Amino acid sequence: MIALILGGEKSGKSDFALEYLLAAPEPRLFVATGKALDPAFRAQIQRHRQERPTDIPVAEAGADLASVLSAAKGRYACVLVDALDFWLFACRQSPDPDGHVRALLACLDSWGESDIFLVSAEIGLGPIAATSETRAFVRALGELNRAVAKRADKAWLVAAGLPLQLK
């Protein structure tokens, strides 16, 4: 099963996804995509590490998330990817961001029987971004979220800690 969990910043989407991972049978894998580029984000990553059980392995994925997931395919009962927005930001710094997205979508197209939960930000609900660079990222993330949602068996939007099932 492929599941997409969307939400705004601090909406509770990661906590909601983590509940599914913790309830899943072993073996389980947590895939982290965020890179600590500033002190506040480093602190947030550290808090997330402390909230996760130490017995669940963590794979840190850079722009090549598809390779990490391909290696995990069939080896784990449940995989949690947190989060696609951080991953897409990393991809946009690479020479071929569209190639990374295509590789991820191809990996999902052949995912198989194990469960995968993909967390992503829903950032298209706010005002129009002030800069062209930010608008391009919002557009790219919206396209990625739609492509993943199309492939997903289930999807939720989390707001104020409350999940609303979309699919």
State residue 41's pLDDT score.
63
Residue with tokens 């059980």: 53
Active centre residues (catalytic):
48
Q: Give the CA distances from residue 43 to residues 61, 81, 123, in Å, rounded to whole numbers and listed in that order.
A: 19, 19, 22
Bind-site residues: 7-14, 32-34, 49-52, 60, 82
State residue 45's pLDDT score.
66
pLDDT digits 0-9 by tens, 105-141: 999 999 999 999 999 999 988 888 889 999 999 999 9
State residue 42's pLDDT score.
67
Tell me: pLDDT of 29 over 90: yes
Range of the domain at 136: 2-165
State residue 33's pLDDT score.
92
Our count of domains for the chain comes to: 1
Q: Which amino acid is at 43?
A: A
- pTM > 0.85: yes
Q: Give the CA distances from residue 162 to residues 12, 36, 62, 107, 143, in Å, rounded to whole numbers and listed in that order.
A: 8, 27, 30, 30, 24
Rounded (10°) angle between helices 97-109 and 65-72: 20
State residue 50's pLDDT score.
77
Q: DSSP state, 28?
A: E
Contacts of residue 29, defined as CB under 8 A and 6 or more positions apart, other chains included, come to: 56, 57, 58, 59, 72, 75, 76, 78, 79, 80
Query: Which is nearest to 89 in space by CA: 137, 149, 28?
Result: 137
pLDDT digits 0-9 by tens, 47-106: 767 777 788 999 989 899 999 999 999 999 999 999 999 999 999 989 999 999 999 999
Q: Are 139 and 145 in contact (CB under 8 A)?
A: no
pLDDT digits 0-9 by tens, 98-115: 999 999 999 999 999 999
CATH of the domain at 40: 3.40.50.300
CA atoms within 13 A on the CB side of 89: 14
